[in-house]
Chains A and B, each alone.
Chain A
Amino acid sequence: MKVSLGCASRNTIFPAHILLDHDLRVIDTGRLVARQFPDLVAGSFIHEHFRVTSSGEDVALALLVESGALLELESKDERAGFFGWVLPCESGYFLVLRLGLEDYSLDNSALQISDFAPRDPTVHGLLMFTLQRALLDEQRQVTCELVDAQRKSYELLERFSRISGYLAHDFNNFLSIIRLNCDRLSIELTEQPRLARLVEIITAAAARGSAVTQSLMSLSQQRDETRIPVLIDELIEENWAFFATAVGSRVNIELDLNADGARALVSRVALLNSLINLLINARDAMPDGGKVAIRTRTQDKACEATMPNSVEARPVITIEVIDTGEGMSEEVQAQAFDPLFSTKAHGNGFGLPSVRDFISEMGGCAKIRSTPGVGTSVCLCLPSLDQIETGESPVSAMLSQQPKALAEPEHSHRVLVVEDEPYALEALCELLAGHGFEVTGCTSSAEAMAELENNPYCVLLTDIILPGESGAELARAARKRDPALKVILMSGYVPQGEDLDEDWMFVRKPIDARLVTELLRVATRGTD
């Protein structure tokens, strides 16, 4: 078949072509070839500019005409290459070519859309590749912008959190003053019920104000670190109904409480949260129902050598949560306390690690024993405070009583109170003195340290936030000097990074004088 194409048609249909005479000299080139190789002028030999190959081997054009094999033209300067076919024509050879692209980048390319045939897919390929790169660049930029916006958002949140913490602290200080002085007034007004009633109203309003500051504290992500002596068996018994709700109706919950009168210095809320976490895990291990038991007991010393030294040397209270669920393999047990590890489909892996962290902060430890197909036991071990003797009121019972008027003097023990708010210091000292304690007040840690160096004290009751060194730093320095000194910290705000030693008691402001008094009694027991 013979086809006749004029120059314009050749350029439109075959923008990359080379027309050669029988001696392999260039007659004409398509616009793409002309633009890419402007020195490929009419009359020049093809071999001066290109290596003519097929399948990588040098070949004669005439042979390609006969065989119909693919032609490859590689420019001698290695700038570009073409591939295509050789068609015989009257004037010689018509090379129908396509640009062989090694690199689809248009960054430094001299190519133009019009170099290609109207529907040449190479155009789409080149544009798509370039567009994709542009979008990837943008994605990088947008990611950086988002990260930056997120960082600014966190900074704003942190600033807000800090400010609300400071506000709560200051407000708590004022509420403390109101509350402490109301307590003082209550003692003075026992014979004047009408005025006593007014004092009750002021106290109640201060308590509601305290609830507001608690909300602010939650916003500022303050920890609830109120650590007081807690009767473990009593705590579990009080919350039995709540535990039963947590495990659901298909699981039987049993209590086996053998730690009567045993107390640990813990945060009630955090301990309850930990038990709930363990009960929920137990429930999830028994999808078809089963039994979970909470068992408590006391031991003279820690049960296993792997427990921290601070627990080994002291009597402990153990709380075991035992289920009859599917159990865990050794491999799973080894990872059970790892953050983010979970065998549940929608588990977040935070439950057991938070239990372990809480127990560690309280000076205890947690241990898992499990047998696949039989069940799992999680044992929490807490250092035990001295046992309460039978008949003696626990802290919770004392708090429900009305404040006493100036009582008959109790055993006098020296208490050093450190509080930089003078009105609060005055009220607290007077109240404690009224309960028979020998109280000295200081308004700074420096003043307190000087006092401790000159006089012996049984208890250090200090605010955390003080001018100069913090109350926690004061407590550490004081304990270094006198390891027998008991420490009770108080504050409306615990600054981030302020760690509390495991055997320090801590009360939140506004100060509840009855709670502080009870804690002092606990702290000074046995020091006569």
Chain B
Amino acid sequence: MYGIIHRVVRQMVLDRSDEATWARIAAKAGIDGSAMISIQAYDDALTFRLLRISADCLGLDLTTFLTDLGRYWIRHVGQGATGGILRFTGQDIVTLLANLERMHGSIARVLPETRMPILRLTRDVPGNLLVRYVQGREGFDPFIRGMLLGLLDHFGLQGDVVALSNNDAVEFRVTYNGGEAA
């Protein structure tokens, strides 16, 4: 995976804990500054090791950690220079989710080894959305749920995201601001 995820993990650990905790995680995972280059592709095994050790050091199970990370991911990319990309993708949750695949397609031209999650808006009723996630990497469903929760936070919406497994794909129901249940 690309180094950007390592950077986001580090930032989340620093926000929740301290430098010493991060130093411990980095030492255990066997990483240093050279693993922190956003557009550098690293071995998936390295990233998974980092995720497991980070969850462990923060006292979280992996599912909770990945959910928190997905939520934090949106907060992180919504700031700074990458904030413009998120705004360009959409200035409300429905538009953003509808444009997400197109945005990922553009990014993938620059980062050819990236495997962006494929998310498709299958129901776009405001307040009650269905998002289909075509599984890219096994075990990353909690991260996607976290991202969707992060989008709700980003747009200031109160709501929830529930995963509905459906054969080869996972669907997430995103309800917010009093949206009706399906």
Interface residues of A (CB under 8 A from B): 105-107, 109-114, 118, 123-124, 126-128, 130-131, 133-135, 137-138, 142, 145-146, 149
Contacts and interface: CB of A to CB of B under 8 A. Distances in A.
B87 A106 contact: yes
What 5 A-B pairs come out closest when comparing CB atoms?
A: A106-B84, A134-B81, A113-B99, A127-B106, A130-B84
Interface in B85-111: 85, 87-91, 95, 98-99, 102-103, 106-107, 109-110
A112 B33 contact: no
A143 to B, nearest CB: 10
A146 B82 CA distance: 22
Interface of B: 7, 33, 36-39, 80-85, 87-91, 95, 98-99, 102-103, 106-107, 109-110
Contacts of A123: 102, 106
A131 B87 contact: no
B51 to A, nearest CB: 21
A124 B110 CA distance: 10
Given A130-B81, A146-B33, A112 B91 contact: yes
A113 B88 contact: yes
A114 B89 CA distance: 8
Contacts of A149: 33
B182 to A, nearest CB: 25
Given A128-B106, A131-B107, A131-B110, A112 B89 contact: yes
Nearest to B81: A134
B38 A114 contact: no
A114 B94 CA distance: 12
Contact of B36 (A112, A134, A137, A142): A142
18 contacts: A106-B87, A112-B89, A113-B88, A113-B89, A118-B102, A124-B109, A127-B88, A127-B103, A127-B106, A128-B106, A128-B110, A131-B85, A134-B80, A135-B38, A142-B33, A142-B36, A145-B36, A146-B33
A138 B10 CA distance: 14
B87 A109 contact: yes
Contact of B38 (A118, A133, A138): A138
A350 to B, nearest CB: 29
Contacts of B39: 135
A113 B96 CA distance: 9
B90 A127 contact: no
B181 to A, nearest CB: 28
B82 A114 contact: no
Given A127-B103, A131-B110, A134-B82, A109 B33 contact: no
A44 to B, nearest CB: 25
Contacts of B102: 113, 118, 123
Contact of B84 (A105, A114, A145, A146): A105
B80 to A, nearest CB: 7
Contacts of B84: 105-107, 109, 130
